[in-house]
Chains A and B, each alone.
Chain A
Amino acid sequence: MTAAPTTGLERILLDNRARLVRFLAARGAGDDAEDVFHELWQKIAAQPGKPVAQPMSYLFRAAENLMRDRHRADQARGRREQDWQESDGAPAPPPGGDRVLLARERLREAEAVLAGLGERADTVFRRYRIDGIGQAEIARDLGVSLSTVEKDLQKAYRALAELRERFDAE
Chain B
Amino acid sequence: MTRSSDQPSDTARLWAIRVADADFGDWDGFTDWLAADPAHAAAYDRAVDAHEAADALFDVPDAPATVPADTPRPSRRHFVWLGAGGAIAAALAVTLGLNVMAPDAGAPYAIETGPGAHRTVALADGSRIELNGDTRIVFDKAAPRLASLERGEAMFHVRHDESDPFVVKIGDDTLVDAGTAFDVVRDPRRTRVQVAEGKVIYNPDVDKLALDAGATLVIERDGVTLGRMTPGDIGGWRAGTLVYAGMPLETVAADLSRNLGRPIEAAPAIAAQRFTGTLALGDGDAGATLTRIAPLLGVVPQPKGDGWTLTSPNRAQP
Contacts and interface: CB of A to CB of B under 8 A. Distances in A.
Given A27-B41, A134-B22, A160-B57, A97 B79 contact: yes
Interface residues of B, number: 65
Nearest to B232: A47
A117 interface: no
B42 interface: yes
A104 B25 contact: no
A166 B2 CA distance: 12
B34 A46 contact: no
21 contacts: A19-B28, A19-B31, A22-B31, A23-B30, A26-B40, A42-B280, A43-B241, A60-B27, A68-B45, A68-B48, A69-B276, A73-B245, A93-B222, A94-B81, A97-B77, A103-B60, A107-B58, A154-B14, A154-B17, A157-B16, A161-B54
Interface residues of A, number: 60
Given A22-B31, A56-B27, A136-B23, A43 B58 contact: no
Interface of B: 2, 10, 13-14, 16-19, 21-25, 27-28, 30-31, 34-35, 40-42, 45, 48-51, 53-55, 57-61, 63, 77, 79-82, 84-85, 89, 212, 220, 222-223, 225, 230, 232-233, 236, 239-241, 243, 245-246, 272, 274, 276-278, 280
Interface in A131-170: 132, 134-136, 150, 153-154, 157-158, 160-161, 163-165
A26 B2 contact: no
A94 B241 CA distance: 30
A64 B26 CA distance: 13
Contact of A23 (B2, B27, B40, B232): B27
Contacts of B42: 28
Contacts of B61: 100
A77 B21 contact: no
Interface string A19-31: 1001101111000
Nearest to A110: B57
A120 interface: no
Contacts of A71: 45, 49
B274 to A, nearest CB: 7
B25 A54 contact: yes
A23 B28 CA distance: 8
Contacts of B220: 94
Interface-central residue, B31, B35, B240, by most chain A CB under 10 Å: B31
Interface of A: 19, 22-23, 25-28, 39, 42-43, 46-48, 54, 56-57, 60, 62, 64-65, 68-73, 75-77, 80, 89, 91, 93-97, 99-100, 103-104, 106-107, 110, 129-130, 132, 134-136, 150, 153-154, 157-158, 160-161, 163-165
Contacts of B212: 132
Contacts, number: 153
A106 B77 CA distance: 22
A34 to B, nearest CB: 15
B18 A73 contact: no
Contacts of A163: 54, 57
Contacts of B239: 46-48
B76 to A, nearest CB: 12
Given A23-B30, A43-B241, A150-B17, 5 more contacts: A94-B223, A95-B79, A132-B212, A157-B16, A161-B51
Given A27-B34, A46-B239, A157-B51, A132 B89 contact: yes
Contacts of A62: 230, 232
Contacts of A136: 21, 23
Nearest to A101: B63
A75 B276 CA distance: 12
A27 B49 CA distance: 15
A72 B57 contact: no
B4 to A, nearest CB: 13
Given A150-B18, A164-B57, A57 B276 contact: no
A69 B222 CA distance: 26
A104 B225 CA distance: 17
A62 B28 CA distance: 15
A107 B60 contact: yes
Q: Which 4 pairs across A and B sit closest by C-beta, in order of nearness?
A: A73-B276, A160-B54, A94-B223, A26-B34
